Structure 1
Amino acid sequence: MTEKILYQTVVENSEGINGHAKVIQGGDLDVLTSNPVHDTPGTNPEQLIGLALATCLNATIEAEEKRRDLPHKSVVRVGIKMGFDDPGFQFWLDAQVKIPQVEPQEAEEILAKCEKRCPVAKLLQNSDNVKVHLVNEFNFNEEG
């Protein structure tokens, strides 16, 4: 398969969890990073992967809404939990999707199609730690 590259970027983290991560090619983003279990300013991998999934999936849904001549009203929220694993740690992602302007069956069709098209969802699709589903109301419980 020949790749047709539409966009390319390079990001770097040279300081670990407490420092900065930045785009060094293809943009000028520089973010402060910090440990998620401490109250220090900054973002962390948990937040970044959640933002990546929420943004990419909702952008894909937006394109499908437009293709169907629907107003863009979808919202994607992703809850992320981190816990111990052996060895190390792991994440659990709960992507909750609202597509309120259509009937539930059409919303299911839209979401199923978009999960197959969204590059971030495709990267995560075979993980037992990732759940993507429609909701009427967002609900992120505090339990493990």
Structure 2
Amino acid sequence: MLYQTKVTNQEGIRGQLTFSDNEALLTKHPLKDGSGYNPEQLIASAWATCLNATIQSILESKRIQTASRVDILVTLCKEEKGIGGYYFQIDAEAAIENFSSTYAQQIIEQAHLRCPVSKLLSGAKTLTLKTVDY
């Protein structure tokens, strides 16, 4: 094991997240004003950070110093049929500065296979990852 953390939530989207190894974060309803973070923001920040860190790690292993960027758009959607409820549509765009789209896509696909958050999300029907120009 390299690292472990525990997060506790006792109040849903109207409370806080308590971390075993960090300060607490306030949570908030995504459709209401106020301070705090909602699940959409947290999943987007987790994937954007992890995927871009993995892209940077691959670039560093190739001794390439250039910028990269990951943008994540998370949309809360209501189920139209079936059991009801809600789901997240998660659309990601990744880019590497000064790379051809073909080479950037190769690196981004490698990163997507290695990134721990990508692995958690793999197979999701409401997820896209696209390579774009920097």
Q: TM-score, normalised by structure 1?
A: 0.86
Cα pair 2:18 2:24 within 8 Å, conserved = yes
Whole-angstrom CA distance in 2 between matches of 1:29 and 1:76:
26
Which residues of 2 match residues 84-95 of structure 1 at below 5 A?
Answer: 84-85=78-79, 86-95=83-92
Whole-angstrom CA distance in 2 between matches of 1:100 and 1:94:
20
1:65 match:
59
Find out whether 1:114 has 2:111 as its counterpart. yes
What is the aligned-residue RMSD (CA, Å)?
1.2
| 1:104 corresponds to which of 101, 104, 129 | 101
- Structure 2's unaligned 5+ residue stretches are none
| 1:54 corresponds to which of 30, 48, 52 | 48
Runs ≥4 residues deviating over 2 A: none
Find out whether 1:30 has 2:24 as its counterpart. yes
Cα pair 2:101 2:133 within 8 Å, conserved = no
Query: Relative contact order, CA 8 A, sep 6+: which one is greater?
Result: 2
SS in 2 for 1:60: helix
Which residues of 2 match residues 103-142 of structure 1 at below 5 A?
Answer: 103-136=100-133
Q: TM-score, normalised by structure 2?
A: 0.92
**Count of equivalent residues:** 131
Give the deviation of 1:104 after TM superposition. 1.6
2:5 match:
9
